[in-house]
Structure 1
Amino acid sequence: MRREGGWIAGTTIVVLVIGLAVAVYDRSSAERAGREAEALRRSEEKFRLLVEGVADHAIFMLDPEGRVANWNLGAIRLIGYGEEIVGTHYAILHTDEDRDAGIPEEVLLEAKREGKSAGEGWRVRKDGSRFWAEATIRVVQNERGEAIGFAKIVRDVTERRLAQEALERTRDALAVSQKMETVGQLTGGVAHDFNNILAVILGSLELAKKRLQPEDPRIHRLLDNAIHGALRGASLTQRMLAFARKQDLKPVVVDVPELVRGMSALLKFNPAIRVETRFPIELAKVKVDANQLELAILNLAVNARDAMTASGGTISIAAREEQAIDGLAEGRYVALSVSDTGSGMDEKTLKHAQEPFFTTKGVGKGTGLGLSMVKGLAEQSGGVLMLKSRIGEGTTAEIWLPASQDDNVPEPHAAEPSRSAPRSNRPVSVLVVDDDLLVLDSIAAMLDDLGHAVVEARSGEEAVQLLRRMPKIDIVVTDYAMPGMNGLQLAETVAAEHPGTPVVLCTGYAELPGSAQPDLPRISKPFDQAALVAAMEEVMRARADARSVLPLRPKRA
């Protein structure tokens, strides 16, 4: 019995100890759970006090599944949701594209794995509007390190993004501008040198043809072909100068609708292509070089024609008035557009379309300078060229030109009949100035062929010294671009030291500085003998009265 009684007593003690331990454990667990609940309550209270005072950030508390549990006033202000967002998954703030791609879920997984997830992207307000957001999600853990939710912070950085995009566009535009400026300078320099070469070729061919015996027509035909090739080269350099914005423009007040109507014969293509025009009744005039604008319109129309398929299409030429846009001086502009229903261009082609020598046409079908020339004309005239195009929808090219304050369009007039001035056989003494020996010899040969006395100088400084020693020079024919004293400076020196001595300025650039006298006679290289004679006659006629005009006509071969 003792043994049994002892066993019963021992068992009872063990049971009592285990019960006591369980009670203590339950009490400890309850106390710990209470402490955790109190800590969570205090944490939530701190969160509420902290975040509700933040107005420029949207702050959300999310449960472990990503549903909104709490939010601050900044969230209400920024996103627009009220009590109705409680219990809603935070993915409602993402775009449809993000939700379809599963991005909200990926962000929560990354936050659980890494402790936080941060990034930028488009977010959606309650009213459906979008804003660019800087968003961060941090995991919230309890004392045991278990995730009990997430804290999400969202900031509207739309203005910063727009500023960055504007800065990037400005940088891109500056880079393109600098590249085009460099290419333009290179192109202008090449055109100048090429014009000098063409001047030598054209002048020499012309003199050779004059002195050739007429018995062999094949030689004459070969020389004619060579002269025609030189003239085509001159036309190419003019396009290069137009792109480089170094062409010699003669702006006048132009009525754009009237100019286009006058081009009707030039704008007749094959019967499958219809050309239509649309102009408002009262359209402002523009001040531009009429011949160059006509050539630009023709270039755009030919490009439009070439974009059509064999089935044809429509070319629309229209104009409207606009106010200045970014990059243009304040004021009114006339936007002249040429649109087609052709194949259109993709974004890559459109981006490069205005670059020099860029073409989508086959070999031998285009130089790639057409749009560059139009761009150069627009910018040199104070405007801009804009292109819009989409594959399968055609292309629209717009030339924006400043509206003219003067509405008086010059009346076309017939060429002035040549004066019946008495002719004299007295030769003219001509001082020819050019730093290029080949060009110098070519011009001197042209004048010598006419029977005039020629004095040569290879620099402006040498020409000044010759004039001081030989004051009987009748006329000076000088190059513009020379090292040291250029042709313009030489002309000013001649006017100061030898008043009344006329000067003809020859230039391969076809553009003079703004300080140059607008009435200073000039001739563009390359030129033939007849053009040189005409320029000299004009300048000497301006100096002398009609009775003393000197004959400068070429002698008969």
Structure 2
Amino acid sequence: MKRNPTDDIDAYWPSVLVERVWEYAIFRLTEDGVIASWNPGAARIKGYEAQEAIGRHFSMFYTEDDRREHIPDVALRIARERGQYESEGWRVRKDGVTFWASVVIAALHDAQGRLVGFGKIVRDTTDKRIAYEAVIESERRFRLLVQGVTDYAIFMLSPDGLVTNWNLGAARIKGYEATEVIGTHFRRFYAPEDALRGLPELGLRTAASEGRFETEGWRIRKDGSRFWANVVIDAIRDETGELIGFAKITRDVTERRTAHEELEKARAALLQSQKMEAVGKLTGGVAHDFNNVLQVVRGNLELLEGRHARDGWTKERLDKAIEAVDHGASLASQLLAFGRRQALQPIVVDPAVMIRSMDDLLRRALGEMIDVKTVIATDLWNTFVDPNHLENVVLNLAINARDAMPEGGKLTLDVSNTQLDAHYIAGADDVGAGEYVLFAITDTGTGMTAEVIERAFEPFFTTKPEGQGTGLGLSMAYGFVKQSGGHIRIYSELGYGTTIKIYLPRSTEQAAAIEPKSPVALTGGTETILVVEDDRRVQATVVETLRQLGYTVFKADNAESALAIVQSGIHIDLLFTDVVMPGAMRSTDLAAQATRSIPSLKVLFTSGYTQDAIVHGGRLDPGIQLLSKPYSREELASKIRRALGMWGAVEVELAAQADAARAATHDESARDDDAARAHRAASDLAILVVDDDGASREAISELLESMGYDVQQAADAEQAMHALIEKKTDVLLTDLALPGQSGLELARSALARDPDLKVIFASGREAPSRDEAGFDCASLRKPFSIEQLHGLIASIEDARADTGRRG
């Protein structure tokens, strides 16, 4: 019997295996593409049973589009020519649902090599296709996203730094189109000086070794203009870790940099403004007092000149002295200007030296109602800081503390060494562990709530009334401390005060030399002082020192003895008493009873006990002053004068010289008095001199009296109004800076009562103009000459006389 060729084919076909495969559709096609066999996998995947598929053309599984494109015929032709055809595409099941198929068609040949049909294997890979399409869609969207981003230049680099792609943001920022830069090295975007330094290559090396490189710097656009760029370079590696390139993201942050520079400029300006506010308060008082001193000196010199002008030698010396006063006023003005322009630079500072040098500045800035205590640890470490800036911070914190103590109180400045450990920094992420110099500024003021503490460092936040504070003091302190590598923290309890702690890093380098300040000048007086001290040695030393300074001194060993002296009727100006003494009566009780007996009595306490930083109880009453032991002779003399609130050393010395001169030249003075009286013009002009500085007030009044005018004096606006009510006054000569109501406010109140009153402002500061004051006024700038004073008063008197004649 003749053998059928297909029998050989069937022999090759592993029918048993094929029949058991369910994951693949495996079937045979004739040379024309007709289905000749069908396995269970084909039935599961295609949906057709064997009897439905065998004998039909395999194109039935293709989509209509593929059939129109003759894809089935092309597949058989390629398989016939090449032996095998592989493809993927959409296929159609019996129910019309399409699936993604992986297809292999292999040509089948007999033993003689004749084509006898095709074997076809189909696998349903729809899930993979869907995942693939999702990836493709994700990549498409990512490409659209990257291309759509215009705020960032996003592009790829080869491992050698050649640009391989380019987004629209890169074109916008850099100014190049993709065709202009792809294939070129990215160093073309760097500034020439940076390219010469090898910064492009450094960025690639860093990214390759560390995975990422980030920096900021100048970059160049196509038109040659520069922009400040934030740059990130990320290394890109394949699955094996092989470096295949870099992703580079560049953002134009020129506006941010400009804004940052403007912010830094504004911050520097605000720092300067804040410093000037603090220094202004200080120097304003200094200038006022200094000009008052100069006024006293010049007034007394001119009084002497009036008596001794006929002696050529004496007049020459007086003229030189007056010239020196003018020069001193000029120097004061120049020093104030220099202080506003002083360059600030950080140096290694010995905090002990710096803080000690600030003692007088603090006391002057805070006033008599604030008791200042400075505690400096031994072996204090150095720190690297701007001393002037630190001084400004301390002054501002002290002034804030003063404002929190409107009724007076105590300010303690404690400087010590400290170490911040891991436990502390766990709650403070802005500071590292290590050695620090601690500045603790403590007041006994009103304190802060938790809400205020939380916002205290915010710029422009203030609890003060509008117009009484900028809200920049603490924020400036915060910025300065942070910039110095330090840390600042507030501790406060409402009603009990506040402590602000500043931690500045320790420096192990040698401190820069600071020129020592001039020692405090000794100041004496003629008042009577009662010294109460149980230690006989201390008592004897104090009594002798005070007597050498010119005071009349009584002494007592305890409070009971001291009270007996007070109640004996002896006039006493100052009670100087130790805080802790033996006996039943405490020093505070002594002070209370003594001031009731002598209302004008001033009290100064002294003690050798170290006070705590914040004292909840036992707080000194407002107005009580404390001199801590041990104290120097100069400190004693200075504190006594401040407690008495009287003249300083210059005024006392001048008064003593004047008394000696009058005693030695009585006859000559009498002749001079006769000449002066003859020289005076009789006048009934009544003048009220208002000045809180007694020495300046006395000097001006004596000058006016020497000219023949009727002169009254007042220390403040309240006294002045009483004087104006009690007696008709023609001229009000007042300082601008007065305690309580200002001189300008006093003048307005006085004019409301007497519109005919003439007003002259005499001050060390700029006087208001007529437009600013709202009324006619004249002014004298301290220190002024006797001619200036006489000329101004005379013009008023002449105007008054003219008015009388016209009447």
Q: Which TM-score band applies after superposition, normalised by the shorter structure?
A: 0.5 to 0.7
Following TM superposition, by how much is the alpha carbon of 1:237 offset from its aligned partner in structure 2, in angstroms? 4.4
Q: Does 1:493 align with 2:749?
A: yes
Picking from 512, 522, 545, the partner of 2:768 is 512
For residue 788 of structure 2, what is the aligned residue in structure 1?
A: 531
In structure 2, the partner of 1:101 is 197
Corresponding residue for residue 177 of structure 2: 81
**Are 2:597 and 1:502 equivalent residues in the alignment?**
no
- Is 1:430 the counterpart of 2:702? The answer is no
Q: Structure 2 vs 1, CA of residues 476 and 125 (structure 1 numbering), >3 Å: closer, same or farther? A: closer
Task: State the distance in 2 between where 1:242 and 1:121 align.
Answer: 39
How far apart, in 2, do the equivalents of 1:158 and 1:483 lie? 53
Question: For the pair shown, which has the larger CA radius of gyration, 1 or 2?
Answer: 2
1:446 aligns with 2:541: no
1:137 Cα offset (Å): 1.6
Pairwise CA distance, 1:155:
1.9
Q: Any idea what the Cα deviations from partners look like across 1:9-68, whole Å, max 9, x if unmatched?
A: xxxxxxxxxxxxxxxxxxxxxxxxxxxxx99x9798786455333333222222221212
Q: Is the 8 A contact 1:432 1:444 kept in 2?
A: yes
Partner of 1:137 in structure 2? Answer: 233
Distance 1:463 1:45 in 2: 88
Partner of 1:91: 187
Residue type of the alignment partner of 1:461: E
Compared CA separation, residues 510 and 159, structure 1 to 2 (3 A): closer
- State the 1:100 CA deviation: 0.6
Paired residue secondary structure (1:105): helix
Q: RMSD over aligned Cα, in angstroms?
A: 3.2
Greater relative contact order (Cα < 8 A, sep 6+) = 1
The residue type paired with residue 232 of structure 2 is T
- Tell me, yes or no, if the aligned pair for 2:166 and 2:178 is still in contact at 8 Å: no
Contact 2:156 2:166 in 1 (8 A): yes
**In the superposition, relative to structure 1, how do residues 230 and 548 fare at CA in structure 2: closer, same or farther (>3 Å)?**
farther
Q: Provide structure 2 residue ranges, at least 5 long, that are not aligned to the other structure.
A: 1-131, 341-679
Q: Which residue of 2 aligns with 1:59?
A: 154
**One-letter amino acid of the counterpart of residue 113, structure 1:** S
CA deviations on 1:194-234 (whole Å, 9 max, x unpaired) are 2211111111111112213845x433322221111112223
| Partner secondary structure for residue 510 of structure 1 | coil
Output the CA distance in 1 between the equivalents of 2:711 and 2:279.
Answer: 38
1:191–1:240 Cα contact (<8 Å) kept:
no
Question: Which letter does structure 1 place at the counterpart of 2:682?
Answer: N
Matched, 1:229 2:334: no
> SS in structure 1 opposite 2:282?
helix
Residue 546 (structure 1) shift = 5.5
Q: Cα distance 1:456–1:61, how it changes in 2: closer, same or farther (>3 A)?
A: closer
**Which digits, 9 at most, give the CA deviation of each residue in 1:138-164, with x for residues without a partner?**
222122111112222222222222221
2: CA distance, partners of 1:90 / 1:165: 28
What's the secondary structure of 2:327's corresponding residue?
Answer: helix
- Give 1:461's aligned residue: 718
Name the SS of the counterpart of 1:71 in structure 2. Answer: coil
Q: Secondary structure at the match of 2:164?
A: strand
Instruction: State the partner residue of 2:275.
Output: 179
2:768 maps to a residue whose letter is L
Report the TM-score when normalising by structure 1.
0.54
Q: Is the 8 A contact 2:309 2:315 kept in 1?
A: no
Determine whether 1:157 maps to 2:414: no
Structure 1 residues 60 and 535: CA distance shift in structure 2, 3 A: same
Q: Give the partner amino acid of 1:117.
A: F
The equivalent of 1:70 in structure 2 is: 165
Change over 3 Å in CA distance of 1:496–1:84 after alignment to 2: closer
For the structure 1 residues 53 and 491, does the alpha-carbon distance in structure 2 shift closer, same or farther, using more than 3 Å as the test?
closer
Instruction: Decide which moves more: 81-90 or 139-148.
Output: 81-90
Indicate the SS of the match to 1:200: helix
1:118–1:238 Cα change, 3 Å: closer
Contact preservation (8 Å) 1:502, 1:540 = no
- Describe the shift of the 1:442–1:548 C-alpha distance in structure 2 as closer, same or farther (beyond 3 A): farther
Amino acid across the alignment from 1:65: D
Distance across 2 between alignment mates of 1:76 and 1:482 = 69
Match of 2:165, as an amino acid?
A: N
Q: In 2, are the aligned partners of 1:57 and 1:75 still within 8 Å (CA)?
A: yes
The secondary structure found in structure 1 opposite 2:155 is: strand
> In the alignment, residue 180 of structure 2 is paired with which amino acid?
E
CA offset at residue 515 of structure 1? 4.3
Structure 1 position 547, deviation (Å): 5.5
The equivalent of 1:476 in structure 2 is: 732
Q: For 2:727 and 2:150, how far apart are their aligned partners in 1?
A: 88
Change in 2 beyond 3 A, CA 1:149/1:520? same
Deviation at 1:465, TM superposition (A): 1.3
8 Å CA contact 1:188–1:241 kept in 2: the answer is: no
- Identity, % of aligned positions: 45
Q: Out of 220, 233, 237, which is 2:315 matched to?
A: 220
Count of paired positions: 333
Q: Please say if residues 433 and 463 of structure 1, whose CA atoms lie closer than 8 Å, have aligned partners that are also in contact.
A: yes
